[in-house]
A and B are shown apart, each in its own frame.
Chain A
Amino acid sequence: QITLKESGPTVVKPTETLTLTCTFSGFSLRSKGVGVGWIRQPPGKTLEWLALIYWDDRKFYSPSLEGRVTITKDTSKNQVVLAMTNMDPVDTATYYCAHRADYYNPRGPEFDYWGQGTLVTVSS
């Protein structure tokens, strides 16, 4: 079955760079059509989509964060990494990674499996 788990620091200081790792199992980023996305949720607020990477290394970013966010994959380790520079207290949120289902199935789901999330607090 498909599982994902986020890992990384729980606290970062303002201006620092946040690096989060999504380690997954049950699928491969070598498989055509598959992707992994990152979504965050500030406490008490709605979900915000951040970035998405596909099996063929195409990457998409939220325009509001473009320039601060980089998404990469390590296919051999079954990992996707999100790096976010110049962290600010407003970036305090729970960060989720999610499995992007078959891109080539137009009638299929997008984010069908999610990690448990990791809370990142930005504070000096």
Chain B
Amino acid sequence: DIRMTQSPSSLSASVGDRVTITCRASQGINTYLAWFQQKPGKAPKSLIYAVSTLQSGVPSRFSGSGSGTDFTLTISSLQPEDFATYYCQQYDSYPRTFGQGTKVEMK
């Protein structure tokens, strides 16, 4: 199985801050990397797929980058509605695997 390792596991930030979350795959996954946002009691929401393509309706303050095994999710200016947990997922091979999550909390 491909192991997906996210860092940090949690972070505290303020509205307006730039936030960066990293995701490392245990082997190369081409461009088959997605990011999801999850709020308490809700289903995950697709944010980004194919490393850097924003899902329809996702604000442009979200961006993704990376290649091979190292990937990054960036929120350029954190908004109140962005406090949530973020997960990366590889869909290069089976079984699909997710990172352990990064919780973005209010400072």
Contacts and interface: CB of A to CB of B under 8 A. Distances in A.
A109 B95 contact: no
Contacts, number: 63
B57 to A, nearest CB: 11
Mostly, the B contact residues are loop
A109 B34 contact: yes
B94 A108 contact: no
Nearest to B46: A112
B16 to A, nearest CB: 28
Nearest to B30: A106
B49 A108 contact: yes
A8 interface: no
B81 interface: no
Contacts of B34: 109-111
A112 B55 CA distance: 8
A49 B101 contact: no
A112 B42 CA distance: 15
B12 interface: no
Interface of A: 37, 46-49, 52, 60-64, 96, 107-117
Given A47-B36, A49-B97, 13 more contacts: A46-B87, A47-B87, A49-B95, A63-B1, A64-B95, A107-B31, A108-B49, A108-B50, A110-B34, A110-B91, A111-B34, A114-B44, A116-B43
